[in-house]
Amino acid sequence: MSFTPTQIDTAPPVSRSEQSTGRAGDKIFSGLSKGSGILLLVIMASIAAFLTYRAVLALSKNEGNFLTTFDWNASANPPVFGIAVLLFGTVVSSIIAMVIAVPVAVGIALFISHYAPRRLAGPLAYVVDLLAAVPSIIYGIWGALFLVPQLGGLNLWLDEYFGWTYVFDKTQVGVARSLFTVGILLAIMILPIVTSVSREVFRQVPRMNEEAALALGATRWEVVRMAVLPFGRSGVISASMLGLGRALGETMAVATVLSPSFLISLHVLNPGGGTFAQNIAAKFDEANEFGRDALIASGLVLFLLTLLVNGAARFIIARHKEFSGANA
């Protein structure tokens, strides 16, 4: 069979103006994307350079070991200050928050995405997202006026039944303004972030995977365990790292709840401790020029700690790429 030229259906030719317009748009979009990435790197490098410069000015006159000294007397003559207590308090309170928040957040996300009826899932998801919009100072006021008085009984119960672990051995009498209280408050604050991201990840699970598991006779929990959780593992890790980033840098809520003291103690129920952000917020206004440089030096450590946490998260996700759904 042969075709005449009139029988062949050809598309109308694209004019040069249309081709140039499309190419120009692609070039503009590509340039804006690259420029945004470069600008972000420049901003990060500028922050790092500023923090490093001011930190060097402070560390050059510090008479104590910056990493191991427990005291913070940047206004003394000679100045002696260190971050040992601040690093310990920041890490411990963040770990407590993660241990409490992540399992609860994953459970809420699974309930909303796979168990709750639609009429309940929508309002519940809205309420969880709304918690992320509450200002930190509101959490701090609520923690100081309500959470701290209510935790007295819980602290006594932990001391009575789990005091043998040494960690929950309460050796000081006083209100519950401890790292444990800070960890609970931070867990409540990061719960909406981890829940929202995890919920959206679980919703992206291919429907065919779930239906295949159900067709093989799997229960709903087995579907979650075999199809949903492996697919969303990298997303849950990313959500946890976002929550950890907020927990590491939280300022006003911690400053409102915690009774700071430059002592390191594994008894998390005892009053005292300190974090980087709380120390900066408490001492920045009353510090002189050199004292502010010392606080900026501690901020540099927090900056590096956050970068290390995010780098570790990226490394974990890269090693478990087969569970991320990228190849599904």
Backbone angles phi, psi at 207, to 5 degrees: -60, -30
Q: Using one digit for the tens of pLDDT, what is the confidence trace for 93-119?
A: 999 999 999 999 999 999 998 888 888
Q: Taking a C-beta distance cutoff of 8 angstroms, is the pair 245, 238 a contact?
A: no
Task: Tell me the average pLDDT across 236-244.
Answer: 88
* Cα torsion angle, 175, 176, 182, 188, sign: negative
Contact in structure between 224 and 236 (CB atoms under 8 Å) = no
∠ CA 29-33-34 to the nearest 5 degrees?
A: 120
Does residue 261 sit in helix, strand or coil?
A: strand
Q: Is the dihedral of CA 278, 284, 288, 289 positive or negative?
A: positive
Tens-place pLDDT, residues 256-282:
888 777 778 888 888 877 888 888 888
> Residue 4 pLDDT > 70, yes or no?
no
pLDDT of 218 > 50? The answer is yes
Residue 300 predicted with pLDDT over 60: yes
Q: What is the pLDDT of residue 35?
A: 92
Closest alpha carbon to 106 in 208, 235, 204:
235
- State the alpha helices, DSSP H only, in 60-117: 84-110
**Residue 3: how many other CB atoms lie within 10 Å:** 8
- Whether domain 83-323 has CATH 3.40.50.300: no
How many Cα neighbours within 13 Å face the side chain of 197?
Answer: 17
Confidence of residue 176 (pLDDT cuts 50, 70, 90): confident
